Structure 1
Amino acid sequence: MMNSDVHRRRLQATPRGVGVLCDFYAVKAENATLWDQHGRVYIDFAAGIAVLNTGHRHPTVMAAVRQQLDCFTHTAFQVVPYENYIHLAERLNARVPVAGPAKTTFFSTGAEAVENAVKIARAATGRPGVIAFTGAFHGRTHMTLSLTGKVAPYKTGFGPFASPVFHARYPCALHHVSVADALASLDALFRSDISPQQVAAIIYEPVQGEGGFYVAPPAFVTALRALCDRHGILLIADEIQSGFARTGRLFASEYYAEQPDMITLAKSLAGGFPLSAVTGRAAVMDAPEPGGLGGTYAGSPPAIAAAHAVLDVITQENLCARALTLGNRLRETLNGTGCRALAEVRGYGSMLAAEFTDSHGQPDAGIASAIQQQALAQGLLLLTCGVHSNVIRFLYPLTIPDAQFSQALDILSGILRQH
């Protein structure tokens, strides 16, 4: 069947609100490679939007899931618990950079994790308010969309949104927003919109995902921690995209001296299976009453088994170090192309992005889109991001073979030299 036939069926069967990048349909995937129904091969630098740090169908992950499928697929942990859930919580509690004893609860999606982090923060503080940042992406549900700091396409036509939710400025040197500017915007919120004594939590991304891979300056995180401590506000780090070795550390929060009260996790946690988590200080996590947290599929047994395997693979294959090695190669390649439209390469480890601007230094989504389409035509799958859609982010599996990574860099370098 031709792609055009499947495309027609997709348009007839699914709503237009589900945007689709590619005009081909996957039939097979292995590590960093995708195949379509015509046998064409693609190098996957999208990884299901940062879900596959350990690659498509990693053998260790697949073996763990198969073993679990032979035991049971579902009981609902709140009805009949299982030890593997507890063991995974113990492993995350020991690894997540949260001060003091930690506890973990599991869900299915990143948006669920953020929703529940907000619930926990409100229960722990008795306060309603939440502050997020410009450019943030925290999910597509009502609460998480309220926290998200990018209107098109995510918020268009979906208001009104949950309240009380407010947005402060996220620091970005390239766009002339200093740490002082960002902190001043928080102060302005406290003066004009909500008292700090009514704020339950501030949620931020150590490295913004959809917002453009802007890295939180250490001074900003230090100031956030001090501000939260001063006013009794909980600090939530959204590591849904930055977690599990992507940045060269297991969690991006490890780059900072100050620790959050809670961390939200998902995406690469379970190597392609739907699983998310909230890990936080035990006293905070225990605030909701019994029955206040959970979900029918929360902590699905096959996904829990996959997550154990992912943690094993990250250690056994030293993926944190590999993220640094691959990221350094990519950074050198991007900066060495002489691309005049390339304004900045930024990020930690292999959570890197390239931002493109026009001759006047203004965001240029057209160039980013053109590079993306040229790469796709040559078999390299890339994703754009950023409030202005002028940023290309690189999310290859950390397990990608060296030769294939070099091939991708050659494609990318050739394209960038044309711009």
Structure 2
Amino acid sequence: MFAIVDIETTGGFASSNAITEIAIILHNGREEEGRYSTLINPGSPIPRAITALTGISDEMVIDAPSFDSIAPHIHNLLQNRIFVAHHVNFDYSFVQSHLAEAGFPLRSKKLCTVRLARQVFPGLASYSLGNLCRSLSIPIENRHRAEGDAAATSILFARMVEADEGKILTAMTKGKNAEQFLPPNLPVEELDQLPQGPGVYYFESAKKLVLYVGKAVNLNKRVRTHFSNNDKSKRKQDLMRQVHHIRFTPCASELMALILESQEIRQLWPPFNRSQKKYHHRYGLYCYENRNGLMQLVIEKKRTNLPALHTFNWLQEGHQFIRRVKEKVEQGGNLEFQEPVLYNQYLTRAIEEYQQQFPTVALVEKDHYFTKRYAVYLLVKGKFWGMGYLEDPYALGNRLDSFKEKISPSPDNDFIRGLLYQSLSSGSRISIPLEE
């Protein structure tokens, strides 16, 4: 019914590392039914740090079988049994990945003894295998070797089954239960509280530090898919080990979730986020006076502490913008070599005319969660002012100040502007042109 598994490896993630030892203990919930253990030749040198931890050296595995040669037997032992391990996602990701490479797909149910122990023996200081066994007076021989750790896990498992009388265990292994795929330290209650609607979710460490920020159309469904796919990459396995908590912020729609996600990533810089960290316009339009007192427009890489008149992703976009402004100025004659004050006035007026072409508008949509509430997004001269909720945005008329009084300012960036421009051009939301 159960297969208690422990492995030793050359590294922490399955996509680029190999198994050096495996132990499988067949168990019926009360006692062992059989045991298999072997060293495995990984086909590559074992790192010194791994040898120092496990004691397994290159010399010990030189005559050991390859994983491919024992894959049929391992697959046979695991078939039709629940895959049990301490921090099960780690062991399962390796065994499943290497069996698949050998041509033996594995689709077993999983059971994490860390998650089971947290429910059967709540309130312990630590649920690592060593500390858990110490708390329960379970001996461990050959620590950090596959058979030694598997044997201790087997005793631990029998103790938990006896203390639980099968109630929690049955619930955890029934159907597609979240307990089978969640990270070992993440309470299932925090997953169950996620609503079936749009929002932003935060994966946090034990100390409540934000590890990852994501957006979802359906928070509950999206977070479950984060963990249900058995990604064997280092990034995924590291996240699985570190995440202890989930919190969330509900949003009116996917658009609001995208905006909030962008803002949070740029404010918090979570270590496991990749997207949007490098998403920004690279060039800015700046204006300065030369030694002759004439205003000059230049395109430069965006400066951190100096606001740009406008931003561009490509250098040629900026030069095209400058040409259009200069053409507008030249309609008043060759002013550059005349009075600087006059030229500067024409140039300032031309810039303002182009800036006025950028929209000042309120985008309105209904809130997913509350039927009598609307989400409102403000664009002021093409820049994102902020977003918020209003019960009746249409009652404010078309005065910009009225909307600014109701909505708090919010960080602006190029990604958010792009989202709102796309929404404005598609007509997917009601737009209210505003006047200052």
TM-score band (shorter)?
under 0.3
Q: What TM-score do the two structures reach when normalised by structure 1?
A: 0.21
The structure richer in strand per residue is: 2
Q: What TM-score do the two structures reach when normalised by structure 2?
A: 0.20
Larger Rg: 2
Larger RCO: Structure 1 or Structure 2 (Cα < 8 Å, ≥ 6 residues apart)?
1
